Structure formats: structure tokens, C-alpha cells
A = this chain, B = another copy of it.
Amino acid sequence: MATIKDIARIAGVAPSVVSRALNNKYGVKESTRQRIIQIARELGYYPNSAARSLVTRRSETIGIVMADISEPFYSQSIKGMEYVAKQTGYTLLFSNSYENVEQGQVLHKMISGERVDGLVIVGSNIQEKSFISLLLERDIPFVLVERKFSDPRVNCIWLDNVKGGYMATKYLIEKGHRRIGHIAGNLYFQVALDRIEGYKRALAEAGIDFSQEWVAAGDFLTHGGYRAMKELLPLGCTAVFVANDAMAYGALRAISEAGLKVPDDIAIVGFDDLEFSSLTNPPLTTIRQPRYEMGRKSLEILTSILRERRSGDEASPDGVKVCFQPELIVRQSA
């Protein structure tokens, strides 16, 4: 590979001039700049990223850590993030946390190895906070997705899950249901708790007693939804609000295996509005989460912080907090 020195030699100029020319810095005559650019092109020059980030202390890379990148739930978020990454020239480095950000050395590998300039952490569980103080202490920009965090310094973006749970449940109540169950997500995650909270509020508002028995524990995965629905079935509810679509798929299956019909015997409302949810039988009524926009926003926040830092401006000490709104998508399962 050609280096900056090769170019300098050929152009009859010092390496530093080549660097400035290629980086569009002030202080090099336009004619020599053109000459240098031409030579660089002919040599197929591409800057060595290790050398560059060693001196600039920047990697132009952003780390994305999420539970499991292969969950369909994340597909749209990723697309949104990539959109911004492409715009701003950042490279995205994905890493699975498998429900536990703090465990494992991925985070250390990323931040201590200076492989990333900043982080987007989506869906960390509520018990984890030491990694947050670590990031704060090391002064590494990051944004939390799907988690509200009270410290004013941290950037968070999340969906109003309480409202979403409320909307789903209220919709079922308006449809005339009174015996409404809930399949909850993994309770170590704030989203699961918030959706339960919304469910409770709608119930309370309609004067329906909340019963712990009606909420079955799930794990946000299809199979967990299936199991939970089986638990719920004998209780005779006429409707179930399921904390996410993936579990709703499992619930649909359990219901169908029991020989019951959706929505006539049991109505189902999911959460998330995955791509597949319009293809289930029947198509799933659900709460849409603007995942693309949220992914995009998360990266916009991060890149703008990074930009501020690079330009040396004093960044505001306060983080950004953005709350997105859920939307009810009515299909045929309720």
C-alpha cells in the first residue's frame, strides 16, 4: 500500500504537506494540492486508519451494543443508524450484549482499546449502572436507547411505553373486553415494567380490578410468549395485551393449537409492529414504535456531540432526553 511518504516523494514535497492537502487543510497552494490529489489517486492511496487514529485519538467509529443484533426488532433501528453513519462518515461497530452489557469485555475492548469514539447502548437492563458511571468518568459520549436514566448528563431516548401499554389496553376495553390478560416482557427491562404500568392504568381507569394472576411472565421471545399464553388460557380471558410482537406470535400459535379463534375467542394486541406482524394469522393489531426514527435519532445525537467535541466547543453539560410516541395500528387480531 502506498503511504503518504510515497506520495510526498513523488510530488517532491514533504509528507506534512500531503497530509494537509488530502485533508483539505488551509496552507497549501491549490496547484500543489491538485497535484498531490492526482498522485494519490493514481497510487490508489487510502489513509491507514490505525496510524491516523493513533495520533488524532479518534477512530471515526461508533460502537452499537444491543442485546442481539439478529432479533428482527432491531432491523429498523439499525437501518436508521446506518443512514446517519453514512451521512457523517462514521463506521458502525456492532456488538451483542446478550442481556448483559456489563458482563463480558466487549465494552472494554471498545472503549479502553479506543476502538470507538462513542457508544449507542440499546436496551440495557435496569440493574446495570456501573457501566454508565464508567462511561461518564472516562468522558466517553454515549446515548442510551430504550431506557430512561435520571442523571441529567446522560442522553436517553425512549418510547412512551406507559402510554403504549395504556393505548393497547384501552383499545381492548373499548372493544368491550373486561377480562384482559397481559403477557409481560423480561422484568429486568424498563420497557416491560412501563408497559405493565400502562396496562394497569387503563384497567384502573375503566374500573377493572387488576389481578396479578392475569399477568404472565414472558421474556420478549416467541417461545416465551407461547408458554405464557398456555398459562393464561385456562383463566378464561377474552383478550390479551402482549408486551411485544415476537411474544404475540407465540401467543397466536398457542391459541390456535388450543382450537380457539383470534379475535373471536381471544383478542390479541401486540407491541412494536414488526415487519412480520402484518403477515400473521390474523394480522396483528399492535402498537407501533418508530424504530427507524429512534435509531436515526440516537445516532444524530451522538454524532452531533462528537462534532462539537472535535470543533473544541464546550459541549453543554446536560444530555438530551427524547421521548417518542407510540401509535396504535389496528389490524384483525383485536
A contact set with B: CB distance below 8 Å: 1, 44, 46-51, 53-54, 59, 69-72, 74-76, 78-79, 82, 91-94, 96, 108-109, 112-115, 222, 249, 252-253, 275-276, 279-281
Contact = CB atoms under 8 A, between A and B. Distances in A.
Given A70-B78, A72-B72, A49 B279 contact: no
24 contacts: A1-B112, A46-B109, A48-B113, A48-B114, A49-B50, A49-B113, A49-B115, A50-B50, A50-B51, A50-B53, A50-B59, A51-B54, A69-B69, A70-B72, A70-B78, A82-B96, A91-B109, A92-B94, A93-B93, A222-B275, A222-B279, A249-B276, A280-B280, A280-B281
Copies of this chain per assembly: 2
B91 A91 contact: no
Contacts of A113: 46-49
Nearest to A89: B109
Nearest to A93: B93
Nearest to A256: B281
| Nearest 5 A/B pairs, CB to CB | A281-B281, A70-B75, A46-B112, A49-B113, A50-B54
A44 B107 CA distance: 13
A114 B49 contact: yes
Contacts of A51: 50, 54
Contact of A70 (B1, B79, B112, B115): B79
Contacts of A75: 70-72
A76 B79 CA distance: 19
Query: Chain B CB within 10 Å — which of A69, A79, A109 has the most?
Result: A69
A91 to B, nearest CB: 7
A222 B79 CA distance: 18
Contacts of A222: 275, 279
Given A46-B112, A54-B54, A82-B96, 11 more contacts: A46-B109, A49-B113, A50-B59, A69-B78, A69-B94, A70-B74, A71-B75, A279-B280, A280-B280, A280-B281, A281-B281
A75 B280 CA distance: 20
Contacts of A74: 70
A119 to B, nearest CB: 15
A93 to B, nearest CB: 6
A68 to B, nearest CB: 8
Nearest to A45: B112
Query: Chain B CB within 10 Å — which of A50, A59, A115, A222 has the most?
Result: A50
A93 B60 CA distance: 13
A281 to B, nearest CB: 3
Contact of A253 (B1, B115, B252, B279): B279
Contact of A249 (B1, B70, B76, B279): B279
Contacts of A72: 70, 72, 75
Contact of A252 (B79, B108, B279): B279
B59 A70 contact: no
Contacts of A76: 70
A93 B49 CA distance: 14
